[in-house]
Structure formats: structure tokens, C-alpha cells
Structure 1
Amino acid sequence: MKNRFFIWILLVFTAFTLVQNWGKGQSSSSLDQNDVGLITNKTEYTQGAEVIVTIQNNTTFPLEIPENCPVQPLGIKKYANGEWIDVSIQDSAECKVSVPFEIKPGEKSKLSYKNWAYRLFETPGRYRVEGTILINQEPRVVSTNEFTITEKGVLKTAWMNFVYRPILNALVYLIEVLPGHSLGFSIIFLTLIIRTLLLIPSQKAMKSQKKLQKIQSRIEELKKKHKDNQEKLAMETVALWKEHKVNPFGSCLMILIQFPILIALYLVVSQGLHPDKSSLLYEQIGSNLSFETIQTHFLGLLDLTQIDFFVLPLLVGALQFIQIHLALSRQKKKKAEKELKKEAISPEKVAKNLEKPQDFQDQMQMANNMMKYVMPLMIAFFTASLPAGVGLYWGTSTIYGIAQQFVVNKQSEKEEEEEEPSVRVIEK
């Protein structure tokens, strides 16, 4: 089961990597043509996707793109009714910096249109980027290749309507109503709400994991007994799971449930808190909020929209270690001592019942060490590669999980005590 758990974790990391690098790696051979090379990273985008334009200066003079903030740096044209027409928007975003964008001779740079994706490319159709640049202080009109904006498919539409938009709207609502419009406290409250909504399935998953630990020795006995008959082994194992009401995939449940939430929160924190996404808000949500007033610095120390490489990853990794330590606790020795004190059975029998084959002990110890020490390092690396807001969510969720695991452990100990035989063996 622990192997499956690590596989799911690796899948999470892989998916985040794909999300971060989606759309990269397009051919740039046409950049060398003409004095100024200008191409988009793709020729087809779905609605809401980030359009990236690569510009290469093939001249011997600096290339300047005039600053048009809050409007996009180069214009957008759409093909409609047999002609190319300008696409314009009204943007109220505040501009903190207003300097020309410069590219030195022989160098190239990229322009991102992620902050205008839903307003400039609102409807499907044929588009191109076109605008005026300055080469040696002389204006020159340049344009990219033609590209197409298409409608979202079924899966992307479902993702947008059932995962991304609810997370975005919930977070914006909390930011709007909380004092100071704090992104940090909004993420904490959102995490508590999500974990409370998932309390019942996560509680079942934790209890299932505890039950699985208790019957692990019997599963190993079945493996040895039916090592030459895999069909019989599978049947006996499933029967054992049913007998003890164990869900073997319970430990992976919370990872699977939180996986899309993490992806959505990453996209919201890194790209969603911008006027361009206002069209995705439900009616009345964010009506009294200006995106420029959102306080992204948590406690005045941590910018939640940026990556934190040190403090937060170490803290989240430590919290993950504590949670895993609690999840793997077995309380074997405590139970054995209670049995000895009650004299329910002889000390020799207690030792015999607790004894396991050495190779099985080694395997279990290795798996537990992998879970306890390697996974926190993976989570710390994960936290250090994404905006701090995602790390704050994971850390808050882990603290909630620690409290929940503590309660489950106490309940498990109580159930074990109630299951102990009350009849004493009196030797004559």
C-alpha cells in the first residue's frame, strides 16, 4: 500500500510540472527570418489559455516596445467579416512601473498575455498579435503568425465549472469579507472549510489505514502460505479485507481528493487574482473588491504569490513528518504490557504472538522509513517549487490532519482495549 501511496505522490508532482510547463517547447526556426522575429508558442489555444509571444531582435540596434500599461504591450487583431479588426478592452489595473520593454541586438524575449486571456480572446476565432515597435528610434509595424482560439472541450469545461471556478469564487469571497482583504487568512479559512467538508471520508480513510496495519501480519502469512497460488492469495486477501472492513485504497483517498484542489489553488494564486478573471466570478461575488487592494503579504512577512525557498518548505516538511509519524504508530508494546499485567496469557505466548519473521520486519521498517523520511522531503521540495499560498494551504491542511489523526489514534487505542479478553486464565 505504501508503494501505491508514493506512486500517487509522484503523479501529483508530474501533473504540477505539466501544468507549469504546458505549451512550451515550440519550434523557433522562423525567429531568424526578417529583422524582427515574432511567433506565438502555439498555433491553437483553448479559451482562457495563456498566449505567449517570442520576439527576437535580428538587427544591430536595440528594439523597444512602448509601455502601454494597463493595456497589453502589442495589439490584438481578430479576423471577422472578411477583415482583421482591432480587439480593445478597458482595463482599470494600476500600473506600478511604466518603462519601455527593450531587447538587445541578437537577443530574444517573451511577452505573456495571461493577464488578458479572457478579455482579449473571449470568443473563438482567428487572431494575431500586431503592434508598433521602435528600432533605432524608428517605428515599425510587426505581427505574429495567425493562431486560433477554440472552445473548451468537455473535460476542461467540467474542470472549470466544478473545480476552478468554485475555488476561485470561494477565495475571492473570503478575501472580500475578511478584514484587510488578506489572502493568507482567506487561504487558511478556505482550507478549514474544505477539510471540514471532507471530514467524513478522510476519517474513514484514516481508520481504514489503522485497520490495515493491524492485519498486515496476517496478510504476510497468507503470502507465504499461498506463494505458489496467486489466485488463491488474491481471494484470501480480499476475504480478509472484507472481514475487517478494510479499504486497501483508503490511504490514497485524501491525496486523490485534494489533488484537483491543489491544482486549482495553484492556478488561482498564481494567475486568478487579476481583473482578467472577473468574468469567472459568480454574480455579486467580488462586487465590492478591487483586485489591487488584495493583501498578498501574510503577516507582513511572506508574499503568497511568490515562491518561498526556505522557511515555509521546512515548516511544511516538519508538519508532514509529524502527521506520518502519528499515522504509523502501532502501540504494540503498550498493548503487550497491558496483557502481561492482566495475566490474560503467559509472557511466552505474548512474545510468540508479537513475533514476526525477520524479513517481514525488515520490509516493514524500510517501508515505514521511506514513508516517514522521504515523503516530507518530497513535500518540502513541492512547497519550494510553487507559490507560497499553495504551501500555506498544504501546511494548514496538514495541521488539521494531525489533529484528526490524533483523535483517530485515541479511538483506535480505546477500541483495542475494549477488544481485549476480560477472562483471566487462573493457573492451579
Structure 2
Amino acid sequence: MDKLKRFSRSLLLFVSVFIVAQLILVNCFGLGAAPQQVDGNINVEVLKSSYPVGKLVTVKVTNSTTETLTIPHECPNPPLQVHKIQQNQAVLQIPEFADEIDCSNATDIIIPSGTSTQVTFKNWNNQLFGETGTYSVTLETEIDGTPTIVTSNNFQIKEPGIFRQLWNGIIYRPIYNALILAASYSPGYNLGIAIILLTLLIRTILLVPAGKAMKSQRKMSEIQPRIQEVKEKYKGDQQRIAMETMALWKEANVSPVGSCLPILLQFPFLIAIFYAVQNGINPDNHFLLYTTYNNVSLADINTNFLGLNLLTPNIYILPLIVGSLQFVQLKLATFKTAKQNKKSSAPGSKEMQTAQKTMVFIMPALIAVFTASLPAGVGIYWGTSTLYGIIQQIFINKSSTSGSNSNEVKVKVIKS
């Protein structure tokens, strides 16, 4: 204990001396971060030398003049001009769907003297940088009353990697088009209705594998008391415990991997829905639409559903609903196991019961926090998917109960 106290004091002393030394160096000797020099120039710098198609291009604008630099918003046009270098000539790029951009929240970019800021092309990126090649960015402004054009360094737009191409081609683009198609046929072009319809479609496609996984999870829960007996019987012999546990899994015809399948199968769709809701309604993503849907106007899609703005997080109502649905689903999934644990006198059954209760309450809370931090549209997807899972779980529980009455799965521990 004395050694621990001495170590704590030494550590505290070291940290204190380090902080004091840093303060002295920064404030007295000016060894902190150096302020940007004011040399009367404005610099425009693209942060990377190359970007894959679809990646957001970011530009750093540095104001080294003595006056505040204002870049007025010219929405629906981009704040900076973009040129593509073709045959040694700079060709101005004009966004095709700029007129569909919502400019209600557009503001000027203010850069005080001696500072810098980052400018992105969030609403125009795919329209301006949709083709491979060499590009540059220019800023038209004034320095001391003199019109000045500041040009950035040249940078490359290159083909995306194989994983990005597979992701866009196999998962994201089909889901995105399905979402837009559903919205275009829903009453009032409503995005919320489209998300619900798409979720039901996805869950129906995954109905068979998800059902098998739920049954596997159910059986896995039913043999947990037996596994606890194995762990207690062969305590300290990890190899024997592993062998006996695998024998139990084989006897019950279950796999621990199979019980994770519903969540694993949903993740790609969840991520795709997230990006589709967060960025997909931006007219800049019009290039993702299949030729059949080119006449659809993304600006016409209604992003309000039951009083919720689906593009922004909802931190009160939706998280509570989704968390409650998750709680109900977990209770249904663990109900029979909880009853078995209460009746069981096997060693470790109480610990298992406690862990199960903890999961039933902790998991919904985490899902609620997760929902509150993402656009409400993602919460609508997760809530609809969970409700679908609840209905599916009820049917599985009923079939499991009727099956156990007539043909109960018997599992025994293999004795040495």
C-alpha cells in the first residue's frame, strides 16, 4: 500500500511539473502553436493530392490579409469555382442539378484575418467531380480593392477502389434506388412511408435465414443450463469444457454463429439506409439513380413523417419507442430461458439469470442512445425492423412450445 501511495505521489508530481513547464514555454517563450503570418495573401489549398470518385473534396482557405475575408454564398452554385484540366485548358464545371438544391440555410463563409477555414462541396461534389481527371479550385475575391483570382494546387480524381465499387454496385445503389422508387409512389412522396415499405421488403427477403437464426438462438438459450453444468463439472479444464460444449451444440444441432446471423445480415442494409437517409435526398446524388428513375426529382421528396424531420436526429420520442420495442423483443427471445433458470438448481444458473436480466435492460438503452444520435429516418428503419422481428419471434416461440411438447430436444452431458 505504501509503494502504491509513493507511486501515485510521484506520478502526480511529474504531471504537475510537466503542465507547469508547458505553460511557461508557451506563454513566456512563445513555443506554442505559431499564429499564421499576415502577409497580405490569400491561399487556397486542396487538402489531398487525389480523391476517389464519390469522396468529398475539402479545400482549405487561408486569409493572410489584414481584413476579414467574406466568401458570399452563391447557392445554388458552389462557393468556389471548379475547373477540370483538359488539354492544358481549365474548363469550368457547372453542376447539372443545382436548381434543386435547398438554399434556405445557406450562409456566407467568414474568415477573419490570420485564420483559415475548410470549405467542402457537400451539395455539389458528385456533379463537379464525377469523372476522373485533373482538377483545380479557384476563388474570385478582392485584396485591397483589387479583383483577384486565387487558384489552388492541381489534384486528381481517380477511380474508386474495388470495395467501394462492390459496396455501391451490390448494396448501396440498389437500396438507394428502391428507397427513391418507394418514395416516388408513396402518398405525398413521403420518405417515412418509403423507409417502412423498404424495411418490410428487406426483412421479408431475410425471413428464412433470420427465422433459422432465431430458432438456433432459442435452442442455444435452452441448453445454457447444461453448459453451466459442464463448466462446473470440469472447472479448470478448459480443453474438456470446450469439447463437452461442442458436443452439446452438436447434440442440439445449434451453432453460436447462427444466433448472430440476424444482426450480421442487417448491418449492410442498416449502413446503406443510414447513408441513403443522411445524404441520399441531396440532388447531388442524382447520378446514383438508375436510368429508369432519371425523371424523379429528389427535391420533391417529403422528409417529414408524423411530425419528425427524418434527416435530423430525434432525441426524445423515437429513441423511447425504439428502445421499448427492443426491450419487448429481448424479453420474448429470453422468456423461456429465464423460466428455466429460475427452476434450475445448476451451479451458475443465478449468475446466468443476472447476466440475462442485465442484457435485457442494457441493450435497449444502448439502442435508444444509438437512435438518438442518428437521423430519425434510421430510427424509423430500426423500429420497423424490430417490430417485424417481434412478430416473427412470437410465431417462433409458439412453434417452439408446441414442438417441445411433442418432440422435446433432449441433451445430456457426455460422461468421462
TM-score category by the smaller chain? Answer: 0.7 to 0.9
Q: Taking structure 1 as reference, are residues 399 and 135 closer, same or farther at Cα in structure 2, changes over 3 Å only?
A: farther
Q: CA deviation at 1:213?
A: 1.1
Pair 1:321 & 2:327 matched: yes
Q: Is the 8 A contact 2:63 2:113 kept in 1?
A: yes
Give, in whole Å, the separation in 2 of the partners of 1:88 and 1:30: 37
| Corresponding residue to 1:93 among 89, 100, 103 | 100
Q: Is the 8 A contact 1:46 1:150 kept in 2?
A: yes
Q: CA deviation at 1:50?
A: 0.8
Runs (4+) of structure 1 exceeding 4 A deviation are 28-34, 134-138, 331-336
Give, in whole Å, the separation in 2 of the partners of 1:307 and 1:135: 42
| Corresponding residue to 2:391 among 400, 403, 406 | 403
Q: Taking structure 1 as reference, are residues 218 and 228 closer, same or farther at Cα in structure 2, changes over 3 Å only?
A: same
Pair 1:282 & 2:272 matched: no
Pair 1:271 & 2:261 matched: no
Amino acid aligned to 2:68: P
Amino acid aligned to 1:93: E
Give, in whole Å, the separation in 1 of the partners of 2:36 and 2:54: 26
Q: Is the 8 A contact 1:75 1:86 kept in 2?
A: yes
Q: Is the 8 A contact 1:56 1:106 kept in 2?
A: yes
**2:360 paired residue number:** 372
Q: Is the 8 A contact 2:228 2:346 kept in 1?
A: no
Pair 1:173 & 2:181 matched: yes
Equivalent pairs, count = 374
| Corresponding residue to 1:46 among 41, 46, 52 | 52
Q: Which runs of 5+ in 1 are unaligned?
A: 1-27, 337-350, 422-428
Residue identity (%): 42
Q: Is the 8 A contact 1:89 1:120 kept in 2?
A: yes
**1:12 paired residue number:** none
Q: Taking structure 1 as reference, are residues 386 and 194 closer, same or farther at Cα in structure 2, changes over 3 Å only?
A: same
Pair 1:57 & 2:63 matched: yes
**2:121 paired residue number:** 113
Q: CA deviation at 1:147?
A: 2.4
Q: CA deviation at 1:209?
A: 0.9
Amino acid aligned to 2:389: G
Q: CA deviation at 1:37?
A: 4.0
Q: CA deviation at 1:361?
A: 2.3
Q: CA deviation at 1:385?
A: 1.3
Q: Taking structure 1 as reference, are residues 146 and 184 closer, same or farther at Cα in structure 2, changes over 3 Å only?
A: same
Amino acid aligned to 2:100: A
Q: Is the 8 A contact 2:73 2:107 kept in 1?
A: yes
Q: Trace 1:196-275 onto structure 2 (pairs within 5 A).
A: 196-275=204-283
Q: CA deviation at 1:234?
A: 2.6
Listed one character per residue, the Cα deviations across residues 85-108 of structure 1 (whole Å, up to 9, x for unaligned) are: 322333332454466433333444
Q: Taking structure 1 as reference, are residues 362 and 199 closer, same or farther at Cα in structure 2, changes over 3 Å only?
A: same
Q: Taking structure 1 as reference, are residues 335 and 102 closer, same or farther at Cα in structure 2, changes over 3 Å only?
A: closer
Partner SS for 2:291:
coil
Instruction: Quote the RMSD (CA, aligned, Å).
Output: 2.7
Amino acid aligned to 2:66: T
Q: Trace 1:296-375 onto structure 2 (pairs within 5 A).
A: 296-299=303-306, 301-330=307-336, 354-357=344-347, 360-375=348-363
Give, in whole Å, the separation in 1 of the partners of 2:408 and 2:272: 47
Q: CA deviation at 1:281?
A: 1.2
Q: Scaled by the length of structure 2, what TM-score is found?
A: 0.82
Give, in whole Å, the separation in 1 of the partners of 2:193 and 2:256: 36
Give, in whole Å, the separation in 1 of the partners of 2:107 and 2:222: 65
Give, in whole Å, the separation in 1 of the partners of 2:161 and 2:86: 23
Q: CA deviation at 1:368?
A: 1.0
Q: Taking structure 1 as reference, are residues 56 and 210 closer, same or farther at Cα in structure 2, changes over 3 Å only?
A: same
